[in-house]
A = this chain, B = another copy of it.
Amino acid sequence: MSNIIVQKFGGTSVASPKRIEAVAKIVGQEIDSGNHVAVVVSAMAGETNRLIDLAKKIQKKPDPREFDAVVSSGEQVSAALLAMSLKKKGYNSRSYNAFQMGFKTDSSFGRARIRKVSEEILQDVLEKNIVPVITGFQGFDDENNITTLGRGGSDTSAVAIAVSLNAKECQIYTDVDGVFTTDPNIYDKARKLDHLTYEEMLELSSLGAKVLQIRSVEFASKYKLPLRVLSSFGSNGGTLINSNDNLEEAVVSGIAFTSNEAKITIRKVPDIPGVAAKILSPISDAGIEVDVIVQNVASDNTTDFTFTVHKDFADETSKILEKLRKELGSGEIEVDLDICKVSVVGNGMKSHAGVASKMFGALADEAINIEMISTSEIKISVVLEEKYKELAVRTLHDAFELDKN
């Protein structure tokens, strides 16, 4: 079967009976235009938080299996309500929960990985001209336990369903118009992007996280499934995310930023081979992800080793390093929570020199001091003092003329 579109609607899109009827209209239009549609829904906005609160009132650290049974219930409600609304409009529709749809996962409660989505059930439903409305977020394991894919997992559910149906496109409806060149709350010249590659979207995650679960982008990228982010509150084509980087693209697509990292520095580490591994191994063993890493050798054959971790793990990281100090024979450990990371992202960078120098020059013109630098093929990140964040974002947005199409 061809002409299949998967449409996913987030919590704000199905927040009330009225919103659900608006969603039914969007789905109906897609069907009327000649496509087969499979729908995936999140719980009504606020519902999952209500359920989490309930669970935490019973157990501060809720039992993972039972927690998933509690928090997955909201999707069943919104799916059935949307199916009702579609029936009311004359479309043959049915809701399906994970079990009914054969949405198998492993047994990692709270962060389950998808094993298999039953194409047979899906194909059968679509061939009968039924519009399936499928619960996002939830799955079930080999022992019929209910699992969940983790916060925002409905996007990943939708992509998995789209992949198994070999859909033309997976549309992620949300409450914003698409992905922007930067956060419009920080800079009002931010412009909606019509198109991005998967890689750009992944690098823009700090902007996109509010829009789209990153895991779903990785998943879509793996299967070359076109993803489209758009608003259920009236849209203008949204942002298409695919692997097409042959178009005449802008050099830079957007400016991402985050304040949730901490900078950790170990002073005067003896510069001997293997020292980086010695420092980072116990940290990764503790399950802590390290982001930007910089190592500079000083003249006295010692090095200042600096890296960033998520702020939540700053304490734990510093404790691990304190234990290492003697062994390493190193100096002080410094933790700086007062930093931000600002990144320039763009597929066009690959073939354009000079992005880095333009970026550093623009920041220098504003007297913004760069503390760390990290580069990849399509991203250049700088770590700055937190206070410079907004200024840096606006400066770079202007420097790369992102307000212009």
The chain A residues found within 8 Å of chain B, CB to CB, are: 17, 20-21, 51, 54-55, 57-59, 62-63, 65-67, 69-70, 72-74, 76-77, 79-81, 83-85, 87-88, 94-95, 97, 99-100, 144-146
The 5 closest A-B pairs by CB, nearest first: A69-B80, A17-B57, A66-B80, A70-B80, A73-B73
What is the bound-complex CA distance between A72 and B17, given in angstroms?
A: 18
Point out the residues of chain B lying under 8 angstroms from A80, CB to CB.
Answer: 55, 66-67, 69-70
14 contacts between A and B (CB under 8 A): A20-B58, A54-B77, A55-B80, A58-B81, A59-B88, A63-B84, A66-B83, A67-B80, A69-B79, A69-B97, A70-B80, A72-B76, A76-B76, A97-B146
What is the bound-complex CA distance between A54 and B77, given in angstroms?
A: 9
Whether B63 lies near A51 (C-beta < 8 A) is no
Whether A77 lies near B70 (C-beta < 8 A) is yes
Point out the residues of chain B lying under 8 angstroms from A55, CB to CB.
Answer: 80-81, 84
What is the bound-complex CA distance between A66 and B85, given in angstroms?
A: 10
Copies in the assembly, this chain: 2
What is the bound-complex CA distance between A55 and B196, given in angstroms?
A: 39
Whether B70 lies near A76 (C-beta < 8 A) is yes
Point out the residues of chain B lying under 8 angstroms from A67, CB to CB.
Answer: 80, 84
Nearest CB on B from A225, distance (A): 27
What is the bound-complex CA distance between A80 and B144, given in angstroms?
A: 15
Whether B84 lies near A58 (C-beta < 8 A) is yes
What is the bound-complex CA distance between A20 and B84, given in angstroms?
A: 32
Whether B81 lies near A76 (C-beta < 8 A) is no
Nearest CB on B from A308, distance (A): 36
What is the bound-complex CA distance between A3 and B126, given in angstroms?
A: 50
Point out the residues of chain B lying under 8 angstroms from A17, CB to CB.
Answer: 54, 57-58
Whether B99 lies near A81 (C-beta < 8 A) is no
What is the bound-complex CA distance between A237 and B63, given in angstroms?
A: 33
Whether A51 lies near B77 (C-beta < 8 A) is yes
Point out the residues of chain B lying under 8 angstroms from A21, CB to CB.
Answer: 58
* Sample of 18 more A-B contacts, CB < 8 Å, known A63-B84, A66-B87: A20-B58, A54-B81, A58-B84, A58-B85, A59-B87, A63-B83, A63-B87, A66-B83, A69-B76, A69-B97, A70-B77, A70-B84, A73-B73, A73-B74, A76-B76, A97-B146, A99-B144, A100-B144
